[in-house]
Homo-oligomer: A and B are copies of this chain.
Amino acid sequence: MAASSSLFSSSTHTEMFAPKISKCPKNFLCCHGKISYVKPNYFKAIYGPKSRFLSTNMSSKWKQTGQRDSLHCRVLDGIERAPSFSVGQKFQLDDIIEAQQFDRDILSAIFEVAQDMENIEKGSPGSQLLKGCLMATLFYEPSTRTRLSFESAMRRLGGDVLTTENAREFSSAAKGETLEDTIRTVEGYSDIIVVRHFESGAARRAAATADIPIINAGDGPGQHPTQALLDVYTIEKEIGKIDGIKVGLVGDLANGRTVRSLAYLLAKFKDVKIYFVSPDVVKMKDDIKDYLTSKGVEWEESANLVEVASECDVVYQTRIQKERFGERIDLYEKARGKYIVNQDILKVMPRHAVIMHPLPRLDEITVDVDADPRAAYFRQAKYGLYIRMALLKLLLVGW
């Protein structure tokens, strides 16, 4: 597909792009231009002010503009030899805020970039793609797993990282600085900001303030769009397609933002069928059910995990979130033990199917399942790395 940018490892590319380099303006790219207010979001200068979410009809747009192969490249002179690759068209999104930003085309295109990321070899030009770029992880609540994934992604592309897991302390309670003021300061120090916040909508507020790209790494009960993307990417990688698949969402469907976002994204594909399997206290809420219905997505609720597992391509298990039960430990314990993925489930699952889980996992998947090749959850975490590499690449240097 036109959206792909398999720029790496092929020697023909080097030749192909070599002539362009001399024609291109120096320091064109955000991360290799001057350290200034304007450059990190240089696209704005070219494409006008942040035009958010204009993701539709990407491929045709490329045809119209014809810019893809001619416009952008990078010249790095000086001390280190730079990767010789073309940088294509601006990424359609200025920021990553919510799963709804992504339509089917852009998802496919991002997945192709993620696939490129898997193929980057260390020491290759691709591994230096974001050299000189600085990512700030501004975490208002700790989430070591997510933070390490983003930081690994940045470093695997040659970029650098400013870390804070205690961002609360420099903006809130005690001193009372607003998120907006903090963003304005931190954007002076970095080229892209990954925000984790305890309040829904915080990422959107950050994006509205910042001149540099913002990635939402989870904002309270709101969104966690990179998780949603990696989930869909995992399905594509493991099953080979998304159209026509059957997915069982299991566990805490009421509180898990993961399954909610996933349901939302699955609705963009054809002939998907979704099963909801959850204890009564944590059932999927009506808004998602109504949404699926309105989009013509078939769904049903079931209390029989064995039956569902025998039919599905994907069993997506989730942790019952104890913290949501407050004092009602009895309810929690009851809900927690109800649907366990174990050898009995493996027995009925089709050979090509997979088990997914956003992690951390308690005992809702028994440890003896890990050895089965259909246990995809640790691979899923790894796919998250590639998705985040792809997003960082796209936001900072375009297609």
Residues of A within 8 A of B (CB): 26-27, 31-37, 76-83, 118-125, 127-128, 131-132, 134, 136, 142-145, 147-149, 151-152, 155-156, 160, 162-167, 169-171, 174-178, 180-182, 184-186, 188-190, 319, 323, 359-362, 367, 378, 381-382, 385
**Contact assessment for A189 and B149 in the assembled complex, using a CB-CB cutoff below 8 Å:** yes
- Residues in chain B near residue A361, CB distance under 8 A: 177, 181
A319 to B381, CA, bound (A): 43
**Contact assessment for B381 and A77 in the assembled complex, using a CB-CB cutoff below 8 Å:** no
A171 to B143, CA, bound (A): 11
The answer, among B76, B162, B186, B367, for a CB contact under 8 Å with A155, is B162
**Top 5 closest A-B pairs, CB basis?**
A177-B360, A152-B189, A144-B170, A122-B132, A188-B382
- Residues in chain B near residue A190, CB distance under 8 A: 152
Specify the chain B residue showing the minimal Cβ separation from A36: B118
- For residue A31, give the distance in angstroms from its CB to the closest CB of chain B: 6
* 22 CB < 8 A contacts A-B: A27-B121, A32-B123, A34-B120, A35-B120, A35-B122, A79-B128, A80-B123, A81-B81, A123-B132, A144-B166, A144-B167, A144-B169, A144-B170, A147-B164, A151-B162, A152-B162, A152-B189, A155-B162, A175-B360, A180-B367, A185-B381, A188-B381
A163 to B359, CA, bound (A): 20
**Contact assessment for B385 and A27 in the assembled complex, using a CB-CB cutoff below 8 Å:** no
- Residues in chain B near residue A151, CB distance under 8 A: 162, 189
Most buried by B among A152, A174, A186: A152
**Contact assessment for B122 and A34 in the assembled complex, using a CB-CB cutoff below 8 Å:** yes
- Residues in chain B near residue A33, CB distance under 8 A: 121-122
The answer, among B35, B148, B319, B323, for a CB contact under 8 Å with A162, is B148
- Residues in chain B near residue A177, CB distance under 8 A: 359-362
A136 to B79, CA, bound (A): 25
- Residues in chain B near residue A319, CB distance under 8 A: 175
- For residue A146, give the distance in angstroms from its CB to the closest CB of chain B: 9
**Contact assessment for B164 and A148 in the assembled complex, using a CB-CB cutoff below 8 Å:** yes
**Contact assessment for B123 and A76 in the assembled complex, using a CB-CB cutoff below 8 Å:** yes
Specify the chain B residue showing the minimal Cβ separation from A319: B175
**Contact assessment for A37 and B382 in the assembled complex, using a CB-CB cutoff below 8 Å:** yes
**Contact assessment for B32 and A185 in the assembled complex, using a CB-CB cutoff below 8 Å:** no
The answer, among B79, B81, B123, for a CB contact under 8 Å with A27, is B123
- Residues in chain B near residue A120, CB distance under 8 A: 34-35
**Contact assessment for A127 and B132 in the assembled complex, using a CB-CB cutoff below 8 Å:** yes
Most buried by B among A80, A128, A143, A164: A80
A122 to B75, CA, bound (A): 11
- Residues in chain B near residue A79, CB distance under 8 A: 80-83, 124-125, 128
A134 to B385, CA, bound (A): 14
Please give 18 more A-B residue pairs, beta carbons under 8 A apart, in addition to A79-B82, A79-B128, A80-B128. Answer: A27-B123, A32-B122, A33-B121, A35-B156, A78-B123, A79-B81, A80-B81, A123-B132, A134-B155, A143-B170, A144-B167, A151-B162, A152-B189, A170-B360, A174-B323, A185-B378, A185-B381, A188-B382
